[in-house]
Amino acid sequence: MAAVDAESGALYMLDAEKNELYFASARGPKAQEVLGLDITIKPGQGIAGNSFLNKEVIVVSDAHRDPRFFKEISSAVGYEVRSLLTAPVVCDDEAFGAIQVINRRSTSEFDMEDVDTLKRLGRTAGALIGLGLQISDLRRAAGQ
């Protein structure tokens, strides 16, 4: 959030068994309420689900005008979403989730520098998750 001057943020992770994305983390003024909802989304649902499914960064300046915007979450907690920037969390072309920042503070829109920053963050997070999965696989193979 600090790197792109955003008011709020969330990390969605894939539950592969259920084929749905869940909130792994949230920060900002309504974070606890969002996490308390225990809402999940399907790949392709909402902007985060689209970013995950298509493995692309999505920037939206007016969330309520975008047909992909999943307003049920912000409506449930009474939070006004204006702008969104969402990047997939990927490693070796495999998507593990999506990272999203909400409402740029200093201006109304996220810029290309913000897009590049969040894209790098998504790739870095994906690489760390991929590494963690490899370590888990090695431990299982070693009988630990």
- The answer to whether the beta carbons of residues 100 and 12 sit under 8 Å apart is yes
pLDDT of the residue at 108: 79
Helix spans in the chain (H): 31-37, 46-54, 71-77, 112-141
- The answer to whether the beta carbons of residues 52 and 12 sit under 8 Å apart is yes
User: What is the full per-residue pLDDT of the chain (144 aa) written as tens digits?
Assistant: 999 999 999 999 999 999 999 999 999 999 999 999 989 999 999 999 999 999 999 999 999 999 999 998 899 899 999 999 999 999 999 999 999 999 999 887 999 999 999 999 999 998 998 888 888 888 888 887
Number of H helices, E strands in the chain: 4, 6
pLDDT of the residue at 17: 95
Residues 6 or more apart whose CB falls under 8 angstroms from that of 99 comprise 9, 10, 11, 12, 86, 87, 89, 118, 121, 122, 125
Spell out the domains of the chain, with CATH numbers in brackets.
2-141 (3.30.450.40)
